[in-house]
Amino acid sequence: MKFEQLIYEEKDQVAWITLNRPKVLNALSMQLSSELVEAIKRIRESTDLKFVVIIGAGNNFSVGDDIREMIKWGDANQIMRRVRYYQNMANQLEELDKITIAAVDGYAVGGGLEITMACDFVIATERAKWGMPEVDVGITPGWGGTTRLSRLIGRRRAKEINLIGALHTAQTAVDWNLWNRVVPIDQLNTEVERLLDVFRSKNQQGLRQLKFMINRGVECDLYTAQGFEALSAGLTGAVSGMWKIKDADQGKGIYGFQDKNSLWKKRRNLARDFWTD
């Protein structure tokens, strides 16, 4: 896809995505959303890229879905299909095996705020504003404004944000555990680069495992989440060189199937008809 409403760049293992409709405060048109989906797909398929930074052109991140286009979404079924398309976009962004950073200046409301919630880290300027004002347009959020938001800041705060529709300061987002850091207006890019430098110094496989564990663990019970931690500990040992386990196959089962050797035949002959009467 040729990008027309976003700018996509790859540099030093970082994919930079710039939402590029500054005249309308980077409102998410259907085209821009499709381009964002394509950019995320490109990033997902890359093993060279390790980090993603999403920013907005001009002095704003994004004011969310382009309300003027909603009449084009179609009937109720088509609207539901588009919302699910956007949900998948946010899910794919959240599931990237890269560290994702939203760098926010100006407004991040509606769908713009929902993008930040799907990112791992959010750095914002002192003048940044955020909220979910859909209620005053007579619509409801579709891809994170109630679901991810309530998981991040709690049910009561999420109701306050959605039912009232006020716009809040960046510092409030940090105080409520929605965003990570507030910086002076002229320090946004510098702070992003500082954070990237920290991540570049890390064991990248460790970062991938930690992100996966936290994202999955927060959605399940304690013991299941601890299972992810235990498996990750084993994987960490394996990729660090301590992979040999005396009573593990070490690939013999796969090679046995491939070659149909004596190991494969013994296992299948013992198991094939066991308790099948």
Residues 42-65: b if buried by 16+ CB within 10 A, e if exposed: ebeeeeebbbbbbbbbbebbbbbb
Q: Which residues are catalytic?
A: 114, 134
Query: Residue 120 has what pLDDT?
Result: 98
Q: Which of 121, 65, 71, 72 is nearest to 93 (CA)?
A: 121
Query: Residue 204 has what pLDDT?
Result: 96
Query: Residue 119 has what pLDDT?
Result: 98
Rounded Cα gap, residues 26 and 59, in angstroms: 10
Q: What is the CATH number of domain 6-200?
A: 3.90.226.10
Residues 112-123: b if buried by 16+ CB within 10 A, e if exposed: bbbbbbbbbbbb
Query: Residue 225 has what pLDDT?
Result: 94
List alpha helices for 46-75, DSSP H: none
The pLDDT profile of the chain, 277 residues, written as one tens digit per residue, is: 789 999 999 999 999 999 999 999 999 999 999 999 999 999 999 999 999 999 999 999 999 999 999 999 999 999 999 999 999 999 999 999 999 999 999 999 999 999 999 999 999 999 999 999 999 999 999 999 999 999 999 999 999 999 999 999 999 999 999 999 999 999 999 999 999 999 999 999 999 999 999 999 999 999 999 999 999 999 999 999 998 889 999 899 999 999 999 999 999 999 999 999 8
How many residues does the structure list for the chain? 277
Q: Which of 59, 50, 10, 54 is nearest to 32 (CA)?
A: 54
Query: Taking the domains of the chain in order of start, what are their residue ranges?
Result: 6-200, 203-243, 248-277
